[in-house]
Amino acid sequence: MKQLKALLVAVATLVMAQAYAATDAQADKIAERIKPVGQVCVGAECGGAAVAAAEPRSGEQVFNTACTACHSIGVLGAPKKGDKAAWDARLAKGFDATLKNAINGLNAMPPKGNCANCSDDELLGAIKFMSGRQ
pLDDT of residue 36 exceeding 60: yes
| pLDDT more than 90, % of the chain | 10
Average pLDDT over residues 4-17: 73
Reading phi first (left if > 0) and then psi (alpha if -120 to 50, else beta), residue 87 is in: alpha
Between 8 and 61, residue with greater pLDDT: 61
Total residue length of the chain: 134
Mean pLDDT value across the chain = 82
Task: Categorize the per-residue pLDDT at 48 as very low, low, confident or very high, splitting at 50, 70 and 90.
Answer: low
Burial class for 81, CB neighbours closer than 10 Å (0-12, 13-18, 19+)? buried
Angstrom distances, CA of residue 65 to CA of 21, 31, 121: 61, 46, 16
Average pLDDT over residues 80-94: 89
Task: Categorize the per-residue pLDDT at 52 as very low, low, confident or very high, splitting at 50, 70 and 90.
Answer: low
Provide the 10 A C-beta neighbour count for residue 59.
Answer: 21
Q: Which residues contact 130 (CB under 8 A, 6 or more apart)?
A: 59, 63, 67, 71, 79, 81, 82, 87
Average pLDDT over residues 95-104: 90
Give the global pTM: 0.59
Name residue 43's amino acid: G
